[in-house]
Structure 1
């Protein structure tokens, strides 16, 4: 294992199998395109971007001791992501995610993160056994946490002394898992990164735009939130400091899977480098726009 990581990324690390076509698609479409297999998962996407931007991330996740898991660990190491703290399971297969994207965006996706869910709190052992922290001396640095963990485990994280001193950055894995983040709304050190749909699901309300969503989540107890809305204006809201809004540049969209994770990672790095609220939001928006345009490597 390397020196103490700059940030811990907790959640899904798996194989992304993505089919992309430059053609507009609908249900039942059968079109030419390209299929790629790359390391992915919310925690991994964030970690890869952090590594590209100069940080030393480590992942806390579950990876099988199968051929796919060995390949995945080797790929992570090449990308500068520390896997030495990950839980390697002898009886759980390595997770995977499959998506189809057309010129009109994401068509469909299936996330098979059952092994991560089955591993449960085993992935958090390094934070409890003294390797990275303990209940009496918790980790006090940055943690990126994704919503692929179970509802029960996320609720435990929200109340656990192991996370009491952390700068906790939280993202849902998908709109379907957004409501899992509700227990973390009250964590004083938590920053939630959500899109407009996810914000509405958490708040159980329909919001007109990202600014309104940020206001709504703060009113419901969140300490800090960032809300994206595709190519429309994004917002950052902080309790006691209000909401700020900025709009992304117009770009040609060539991919969407991983854009939110890139936004989150770029925002974290900008703040770590001393950027204020407006500069950090602008940096995150630029990074996400560059990513969806295809100019940033996967």
Structure 2
């Protein structure tokens, strides 16, 4: 199955440079070890957009990128990777955002996200869809929106309640456990699907859950329309008014973890845009995420 090339899809949120150091062995606090350091386009919205592009989707980015040298380089990279960059907010007085992480053989050790430019830009990144070429008050955007929780609480709450987004298929990820509570306004949104890990789901429910199934059911009971909850190598769950399904992901050797959740989300969206039934889209996303963490690449589904 293929996705219609004209299908409208927006990726809203962080687009920045990822600086990631990886060590091949376990690390401890204060360790100084040999490894590999890479700089790649990243950010939740960008990771989702890149994975979607590999599935044949050409997403439009709504974000803030500075007009500094790093920003110009990032804009070029986005265009080369298949994204539409025409509507990106470009402040002249702010630097391009960055994310820095350290990983060892077991996964993420620590990370720092410097998304000050995105946060400062605020609602200006939404102008093209609230009153511009992508949507207006009398003609709201009706496509799919992949939204990340790196936006401010105020802006996320505005999106959750604005008429400009009332007709959109909203797909939302918190970006990190520390930002999970920012997604509370979407619990009452009738067209929102949340993509969470087990910790993030627990934070939204102010509870702790032993399994993804328990967390997914709890979120639906709070009024959420639909949710997908992952738990690393353990069973993942999808819940909605249609019911609950849980499935264990393929067991693989971990080569990297940064971006795995974004790959899962993007692969799931792409599968559904291609017409896959919900059960098949769920399996496709789990397989894509497993391949990503084992190989560092995201295969297209068949």
Q: Is TM (by shorter chain) over 0.5?
A: yes
Quote the residue 1:266 is aligned against.
267
Quote the residue 1:55 is aligned against.
57
Deviations 1:163-183 (A, max 9, x none): 000000000110000000001
Q: Distance in 1 between matches of 2:258 and 2:286?
A: 15
2:73 to 68, 71, 74: 71
- On the 8 A contact 1:140/1:166 being kept in 2, the answer is yes
Quote the residue 1:109 is aligned against.
111
Q: Distance in 1 between matches of 2:247 and 2:129?
A: 36
Quote the residue 2:185 is aligned against.
183
Structure 2 runs not aligned, ≥5 long: none
Shift of the 48–76 alpha-carbon distance from structure 1 to 2, 3 Å rule, reads: same
Quote the residue 1:196 is aligned against.
198
Deviation at 1:129, TM superposition (A): 2.3
Q: Within 5 A, what are the aligned runs for 1:94-173?
A: 94-173=96-175
Q: Distance in 1 between matches of 2:151 and 2:132?
A: 22
- On the 8 A contact 2:255/2:296 being kept in 1, the answer is no
Q: Which runs of 4+ in 1 moved over 2 A?
A: 3-6
Deviation at 1:4, TM superposition (A): 6.2
Deviation at 1:128, TM superposition (A): 2.0
Deviation at 1:130, TM superposition (A): 3.0
CA RMSD of superposed structures (Å):
1.2
Deviations 1:43-101 (A, max 9, x none): 00000000011001011000001000000000011100111111001111100000000
Q: Distance in 2 between matches of 1:129 and 1:179?
A: 28
- On the 8 A contact 1:175/1:198 being kept in 2, the answer is yes
Normalising by structure 2, we get a TM-score of 0.96
Q: Distance in 2 between matches of 1:53 and 1:44?
A: 14
Q: Is 1:21 matched up with 2:23?
A: yes
Q: Distance in 2 between matches of 1:198 and 1:76?
A: 29
SS at match of 2:295: coil
- On the 8 A contact 1:61/1:123 being kept in 2, the answer is yes
Quote the residue 1:230 is aligned against.
232
Quote the residue 2:212 is aligned against.
210
Structure 1 runs not aligned, ≥5 long: none
